[in-house]
Amino acid sequence: MRDKAALPKGQGRLFIGAGLIAVLLLAALSMMVGKYGSGPGPVFDALRQLVTGDGADHVLSTVLWNVRLPRVVAAVIVGASLAAAGATYQGLFRNPLVSPDLLGVSVGASLGAALGIFLSLPVLAIQLAAFAGGLVAVLAVSAIGALVRERDPVLTLVLAGIAIQALIGAGISLIKVLADPYDQLPAITYWLLGSMTAITRFDVLSILPAVVLGLVPLVLLRWRMNVMTLGEEEAQTLGIDTLKTRIALIAGATLVTAATVSVTGIVGWIGLIIPHVARMLVGPDFRRLLPAAMLLGAAYLLIVDMLARSIATIEVPLGILTAVVGAPFFLWLLIAGKRGWS
C-alpha cells in the first residue's frame, strides 16, 4: 500500500532536487563554522587562493583545505552512505527497526579499531583493522545463516547478528579493561563515540573506492528492491533470484558501512532514523527512497558536525549528538506513527 504521506512522483523529484541544493548550501555553511570563524567573503577569497595562489588569508586557506574541506566531504559521504545502507537493510528485512548495525558490521569494526589502538598500530593500520573487522563480523553472521537453512533466513540472520554482536562486545570490553587507562583507553572510548576531528584528505580518498563499489549494487538493483519488499515467495514468483539479490544488496550495504565506520568510528542512528524520514516524504518506492535518504543523511550529518564543533569549548563526539536527536525522534515515530510499514 502506498504511504498516504508520500509525495506524488513529480513532487518527489522536486524534493530530491531541493535536497541536493540544501546539501550544497549546508556544505558551504559548514566551511564557515569552527573555532577559526569566518564569513562568506573570506572563505570565498581563501578558496580562490587555492586556485590562484594569492589574495587571501594564508591561515584560513590552510584551515579550509586541510581541516574543513575534508570534514565536509566526509560528512556528505558518511551520512549518505549510512542512510543508504539503512534504507536497504530496512527494505530487505521488511523491518523498520533494522539499521546497518544489524549484522554486526559496526561492532566488528569497533573491535578491529580497538585492537589496533591496543597494539599501538599506526592510524592507517587501525582503519584497515576496523574495515576488516566489520567485514569479518558480517561474514560470520552470513556463514551461520547459511548453516541454518531450514529456518526463516531473515530471522536467522537477525538472531545470528545479535549473538555475534554480544560476542564481539565482550571482546571490546576485555580490550578496554586491558588497555592503558591514560593513553589507549581514552582513544578507544573516543573512537567508539564517533568523530571526524582527525579526518584528512587521504582518509576521504581511501574510503571512496569501497563506498562507490558498495553503492553500485544498491543503485543498479533498486527496482528489484521494490519486489523484495513484497516477501520471499512473491519475489520468486515474479522471477527474482532472491538469494543472489539478497547477497548483492547486503554486501553493498555492508561494504559502505564498514568503509565509513573505519575512518569516523560509530556514528549511530543515521541508518535507523533517516530512512524513516525519507519514506515519510517520498514513499517506499526504493527508486526515490534511496536518493532521498542519501541526501537527507548527508544534510543531517553536516548539521550534526557543525554542532559538534561549535556548541562547546571542546568538540562533542558525533555519536552523542546523533543519539540525543535520534532517540527522541524515534520515540515520537513509535508513539505518533499510525500507518503500516509499507
Output the pLDDT for position 9. 59
Region of residue 95 (phi > 0: left; psi between -120 and 50: alpha; otherwise: beta): beta
Closest to 311 in 3D by CA, of 299, 324, 298: 324
Output the pLDDT for position 2. 44
Output the pLDDT for position 158. 79
Output the pLDDT for position 337. 59
What residues have CB less than 8 Å from 267, skipping those under 6 apart? 78, 82, 194, 260, 261, 301, 318, 319, 322
Output the pLDDT for position 205. 92
Which residue type does 99 have? S
CA 163, 274, 269, 110 dihedral sign is positive
Closest to 271 in 3D by CA, of 218, 202, 198: 218
Cα distances (angstroms) measured from residue 264 to each of 38, 71, 170, 204, 267: 26, 10, 22, 10, 7
Output the pLDDT for position 58. 66
Q: What is the pLDDT of residues 6-46, one digit of tens each?
A: 556 566 678 888 999 999 999 989 988 877 666 666 677 66
Closest to 12 in 3D by CA, of 285, 324, 268, 303: 285
Output the pLDDT for position 76. 96
pLDDT < 70 regions, the chain: 1-12, 36-42, 45-58, 149-154, 336-342
Q: What is the pLDDT of residues 204-235, one digit of tens each?
A: 999 999 999 999 999 999 888 888 877 777 88
